[in-house]
Amino acid sequence: MSQWEQVEEYLSSRVVRPDDQLKAIVAATGAAGLPTIEVTAAQGKFLMLLARISGARRILEIGTLGGFSTAWLARALPDDGELITCEYEPRHAEVARANLAAAGLMDRVTIQVGAALDTLPDLAEAEPFDLFFIDADKVNNPAYLEWAVKLSRPGSVIVLDNVVRGGTVLDPRGDEAVQGTRAAVDILGSHPRLDATALQTVGSKGWDGFALAVVL
Ligand code: SAH
Ligand code: DHB
Ligand code: MG
């Protein structure tokens, strides 16, 4: 285990302390054969705390996978809160639904199955969301950011995952995921309605990072 992973294990076991319900989601997601690319427990708890600090009552997530980040976020909601999460793969949505039901969270979670760019327009008339977690196909990150702004209110929080990807974000001729991330980074830095930062992370998921923005 790398020293980064050891430190993460140390901090995660002493500070983050994911309970059995959360650990079960990671285990069941892997056992179902889904990719093991969910956020770390430390990042999941960071998302939960952000949602709590910002008093979020309505959360929109893009990219559900097995529902691990969804569960952290949903736990921050008040009883009458709502989380909508968009997932392209029906099989992922099915695994997530089972995981979130087992964790007692399906009373506040709705999974929208389909390509997010096809299902997001359904939310155009909905009440604004307080917090967004964008973590799906990176090529569409610019479009997802624009949707988040559209579905927000001043003060809404946006988190965009995986903005570093082992440093590949530096390559202007990188693959389409890199291109999407670079375009999103440019939007974060220049959008008239966003004020943002981006932080690098190391740990069990290697070297990566996320961006955090507030809607003006
Ligand atoms: N947020 C999850 C991990 C998401 S992984 C967690 O941390 O626990 C990215 C997910 O985005 C995958 O499940 C993938 O199927 C989904 N995805 C890919 N393209 C998508 C699209 N166009 N619309 C919605 N979801 C998409
Ligand atoms: C990948 C996607 C993610 O959302 C992530 O957190 C890590 C890796 C990927 O597509 O490889
Ligand atoms: Mg991610």
End-to-end CA distance of the chain: give it in Å, rounded.
Answer: 42
DSSP-derived pairing of the beta strands 131-134 and 58-62: parallel
d(CA 18, CA 24): 10
Nearest ligand 2 atom to the CA of 63 is 4
Task: Count CB neighbours of 45 within 10 A.
Answer: 20
d(CA 108, CA 51): 14
Which pLDDT does position 14 carry in this prediction?
Answer: 98
Which pLDDT does position 178 carry in this prediction?
Answer: 98
Which pLDDT does position 133 carry in this prediction?
Answer: 99
Over residues 112-151, the pLDDT tens digits come to 999 999 999 999 999 999 999 999 999 999 999 999 999 9
Which segments in the chain show pLDDT lower than 70?
A: none
Which of 162, 165, 204 should be mutated for ligand 2, with most atoms under 8 A from CB? Answer: 162
Paired with 113 in beta bridges are 87
Domains of the chain: 3-215 (3.40.50.150)
Q: Whose CA is nearest to atom 11 of ligand 2?
A: 37
d(CA 82, CA 87): 16
CA atoms within 13 A on the CB side of 76: 23
d(CA 137, ligand 1 centre) in Å: 6
d(CA 93, ligand 3 centre) in Å: 16
Task: Count CB neighbours of 118 within 10 A.
Answer: 11
Q: Which two tokens stand for residue 61?
A: 């997530």
| pTM of the shown model | 0.98
Which pLDDT does position 97 carry in this prediction?
Answer: 98
Which pLDDT does position 129 carry in this prediction?
Answer: 99
